[in-house]
Structure 1
Amino acid sequence: QVFSLIYRTANKRNAISDAGCTFLNPINGDYNFLSPEISQIIQHKLGADVVTVLDVPMRHDASTNEVRKAIKRNTEWALRSKRKFLELNGLSENDFNNPKIVRPKLGAVIQGGNDFELRKESALSLLEVGFDFYNFGGPPIHKDKNWYKTAPIGFNHELIHFVSELIPNDKIKYAMGIGSPDDILYSISVGWDVFDTVLPTRNGRHGYLYVTKGEGDTHYDNYDVLHVKNKECEFDEKPVDSTCSCECCKNVTRAYLRHLIKINDPAGWRLSSIHNLTFYNNLLNH
């Protein structure tokens, strides 16, 4: 989010330096400073069980030299983050490596854009520092694809597979921001363990519903999509997905859900989110 705030507005005071990053607070107009150490303090005060270092993401159009410079800073920030993490939790390096000690888990973020060698360089430098889990940083997409308009077509299968093999299997592999059902299932097949994505809820609010094969109007490898706002659903009395037993599918028709979303009734957004989250859970459980 900080990365987005910094690059979304052309303001010289929005900046990333070795010390940390300065950005404009869009709520009150104040400028804030966030460093690797401050990030750890915030997460510690929140009582987080899963903690992530402050990383250095890159724009998709960054040059090789820019990415290499960012990787160096990313590793330095990760090292500073770990030092602060140990200090805040009263741990030594030996304590950190002792599996008998109960403590929060700390993860680092592998960067490098679409460059395989730079990804390897980032991963190896972070493995040398030592963390509990390793995240895939940045969207794994081909440079000639637009993430928002062509996903999952633009998904870089080779890159996500390559980075997974760089991480030891005794470490948790976290694929940040992935993704569509097909992308998640592929990522699982090449070793990734943990995922997070806004797609079920964000897409649900726009009437984009994930359904079982044969139930939707658009077809992918492991699922269909039902665009419930389409005219075809205006008088459709079927549930969103006849194979689903979620609160949405048990209680409302496609026609009524379409009506709720079209009039911006929060109940429609909630029901769509419930269905999509149920679909994701069922797919992964199977």
Structure 2
Amino acid sequence: MKYELQKTDSASKARAGKITTDHGEILTPIFMPVGTAGTVKAVHQRELENDIHAQIILGNTYHLYLRPGLDILERAGGLHKFNGWTKPILTDSGGYQVFSLKDIRKISEEGVKFQSHIDGSRHLFTPESVMDIQRVIGADIIMAFDECAPYPCDYNYAKKSMEMTHRWLKRCCDRFDATEGLYGYSQTLFPIVQGSVYKDLRIQSAEFIAGQNREGNAIGGLAVGEPAEKMYETIDYVNDILPQDKPRYLMGVGTPENILESIALGIDMFDCVMPTRNARNGMLFTTQGIINIRNEKWKDDYSPIDENLGGYTSTFYSKAYLRHLVKCDEILAAQVASIHNLTFYLWLVGQAREHILAGDFVEWKKVIVKKLMERL
């Protein structure tokens, strides 16, 4: 993987760049649709490429390990060939999913023993096995195995969790390097900064992660319940430490406002289930503000969902028709709303990139944030 920093905004830390992988280029800032089980819910690969203009999608190690399983993925030739997506893929390590199991997992220095949420079967994830699983999946960018500390947690827990994450990272790097080329895929490993909301821990973690000299870095353990101001503060001083010449990935964030504010602080890559999850519940993000399509006011509004956004789905279907689909629990409702929201998210980061290149990002952000958060 190669990263080219193309432009830095003079009035903020916002950056425009380009990531080059074996499966194509990624222009940053970028939002990555989440395809947990090898699919972005309710969306065809053709729509991801042609309507939404996604440049990279996510898969999840935990879910793909359980279903369809490594044997199926290996025989298929990896996730790209299994699901037909020809552009870049990033896989989460599954750490967040494993740790969210709470009562049916046990953390130790070795790794995490857990029970499947599907059938109760018992499994062990170690830093080494997670590297091996992601090698088989064949993603272009794979994530280190870490512990995402809960929020809130006390200082001692956060410190011990961070230190174990660092020890696990060393094991991830050793295994990753030892298996380079073994599966025939060109892949890149991203370490993850942890440390909860404690500034000294986050600084220590960022320095440790930067010192590993990998091709990109991530910030995890945010957007888990802490105030937005604390999240932004953490991103700001962590990004002062992480290398300027490598992409920075903020995991699991977030709202349009979160994304734009984080871009201003120097983040390049984002993922979140919000656009598709909210779509299935009838919440639409538009260039004019937020719509709850279930509301009575839309029942006879025959205007397009968002005529300013472009794309087939957002301009072909009316608000009234989509409301009808939602109220009738039609499957098409989830599809239309999901495509629309993802189109919006990719439009948003694309606009941010254009304004960074044009040199007026901060002025544009001030106007657009207020507009996008309005409830219509």
TM-score, normalization by structure 1: 0.83
Q: Deviation at 1:27? A: 1.0
Match 2:326 to one of 261, 269, 277:
261
**Residue pairs, 1:77-96, within 5 angstroms:** 77-89=168-180
Match 2:133 to one of 42, 55, 61:
42
SS across alignment from 2:103: coil
Asked if structure 2 preserves the Cα contact closer than 8 Å seen for 1:114 and 1:142, the reply is: no
RMSD: 2.0
Aligned CA distance change for structure 1 residues 90 and 277 (closer, same or farther; 3 Å): closer
Residues in 1 aligned to 2:95 and 2:225: alpha-carbon distance in whole angstroms:
24
Residues in 1 aligned to 2:235 and 2:223: alpha-carbon distance in whole angstroms:
7
SS across alignment from 2:249: strand
Match 2:243 to one of 168, 174, 181:
168
Q: Deviation at 1:156? A: 2.6
Give the partner amino acid of 2:336.
L
Q: Is 1:107 matched with 2:190? A: yes
Asked if structure 2 preserves the Cα contact closer than 8 Å seen for 1:140 and 1:160, the reply is: no
Match 2:283 to one of 208, 214, 222:
208
Asked if structure 1 preserves the Cα contact closer than 8 Å seen for 2:313 and 2:336, the reply is: yes
Residues in 2 aligned to 1:247 and 1:176: alpha-carbon distance in whole angstroms:
29
Q: Identify the residue that residue 186 of structure 1 maps to in structure 2.
A: 261
**Residue pairs, 1:199-278, within 5 angstroms:** 199-213=274-288, 224-278=289-343
Residues in 2 aligned to 1:154 and 1:231: alpha-carbon distance in whole angstroms:
35
Aligned CA distance change for structure 1 residues 127 and 158 (closer, same or farther; 3 Å): same
Aligned CA distance change for structure 1 residues 181 and 59 (closer, same or farther; 3 Å): same
Q: Deviations over 1:213-270 (max 9, x none)?
A: 3xxxxxxxxxx10111111112221211231222223322111101111222111111
Residues in 2 aligned to 1:28 and 1:36: alpha-carbon distance in whole angstroms:
24
Could you list the runs of 5+ residues in structure 1 that have no partner in the other structure?
92-101, 146-152, 214-223
Q: Is 1:139 matched with 2:232? A: no
Could you list the runs of 5+ residues in structure 2 that have no partner in the other structure?
1-93, 352-376
Q: Identify the residue that residue 149 of structure 1 maps to in structure 2.
A: none
Q: Deviation at 1:194? A: 0.9
Give the partner amino acid of 2:271.
D
Residues in 2 aligned to 1:45 and 1:8: alpha-carbon distance in whole angstroms:
24
Q: Deviation at 1:136? A: 0.9
Identical columns (%) = 30
Aligned CA distance change for structure 1 residues 140 and 166 (closer, same or farther; 3 Å): farther
Q: Identify the residue that residue 103 of structure 2 maps to in structure 1.
A: 10
Q: Deviations over 1:128-157 (max 9, x none)?
A: 2332211111124674x5xxxxxxx66732
Residues in 2 aligned to 1:204 and 1:249: alpha-carbon distance in whole angstroms:
13
Q: Identify the residue that residue 60 of structure 2 maps to in structure 1.
A: none
Q: Is 1:156 matched with 2:211? A: no
Q: Deviation at 1:126? A: 2.0
Residues in 2 aligned to 1:21 and 1:242: alpha-carbon distance in whole angstroms:
48
Count of paired positions: 256
Q: Deviations over 1:8-56 (max 9, x none)?
A: 4534xx2111100011101111011000000000011122211111011
Aligned CA distance change for structure 1 residues 8 and 88 (closer, same or farther; 3 Å): closer
Higher gyration radius (CA) = 1
Asked if structure 2 preserves the Cα contact closer than 8 Å seen for 1:140 and 1:159, the reply is: no
Q: Is 1:122 matched with 2:205? A: yes
Give the partner amino acid of 1:139.
L
Aligned CA distance change for structure 1 residues 23 and 61 (closer, same or farther; 3 Å): same
Give the partner amino acid of 2:293.
V
Q: Deviation at 1:4? A: 4.4
Aligned CA distance change for structure 1 residues 77 and 159 (closer, same or farther; 3 Å): same
Q: Deviation at 1:116? A: 1.1
Q: Identify the residue that residue 150 of structure 1 maps to in structure 2.
A: none
TM-score, normalization by structure 2: 0.64
Give the partner amino acid of 2:103.
A
SS across alignment from 2:238: helix
Residues in 2 aligned to 1:10 and 1:282: alpha-carbon distance in whole angstroms:
40
SS across alignment from 2:172: helix
Residues in 1 aligned to 2:308 and 2:206: alpha-carbon distance in whole angstroms:
42
